[in-house]
Amino acid sequence: MNKTKERTLIILKPDAVHRGIVGEVLDRFEQKGIRPVGMKMIKMSDLLLDKHYVQHKGKHFLPHLKKFMKSLPVVLIVLEGLDVIRVVRTMCGSTDGKNAPPGTIRGDYSMSTSATIIHSSEDQKAAKREIGIFFKKNELFSYTRPDIHFYYAEDEV
């Protein structure tokens, strides 16, 4: 396990906002011992979406995805914890909600490959790039939960 604190970005997509499950999804991460260190709600623009989805430029699904992501506000959250990128992606489940295991966010809330409730950064490089798109340094905070020893072994924190 990576014993260094990592940060990752999650985006609670328009379907999560529309369905009123933002708090439920965030609660799953907090119950796991993962800390939110930055959070905001925004309306996505073409410029932000082009920066965020640069790796999908020219792909057939991008216009539909951009339209969906602009349909309602999204909630952007930076999460922090040990090995948090891998843990968060596991908790999200596979992209196709029909194939995501029960107990994962997509397995419990999604039946789609486009309305997937949540985005999470795929690796450290992506996390750093994505966080930089949406957050200024002064919008991110560090703190220690007083109950952290209930989530990690003593030698891990």
Per-residue pLDDT of the chain (157 residues; tens, 9 = 90+): 456 789 999 999 999 999 999 999 999 999 999 999 999 999 999 999 999 999 899 899 999 999 999 999 999 999 999 999 999 999 999 999 999 999 999 999 999 988 999 999 999 999 999 999 999 999 999 998 888 888 887 667 6
User: Is residue 149 left, alpha or beta, with left meaning phi > 0 and alpha meaning psi from -120 to 50?
Assistant: alpha
- Give me the active site residues, please: 119
Structure confidence at residue 135 (pLDDT):
98
**Average pLDDT of every residue of the chain:** 94
Full-model pTM: 0.94
Reported as type and span, the H/E element at residue 128 is: helix 124-134
Which residues are 10's β-sheet partners?
Answer: 77, 120
Q: What are the chain's domains?
A: 5-152 (3.30.70.141)
Q: How many helices (H) and strands (E) does the chain have?
A: 7, 4
| Alpha-carbon distance values, 126 to 16, 21, 47, 55, 144 (Å) | 22, 25, 18, 10, 25
pLDDT at site 9:
98
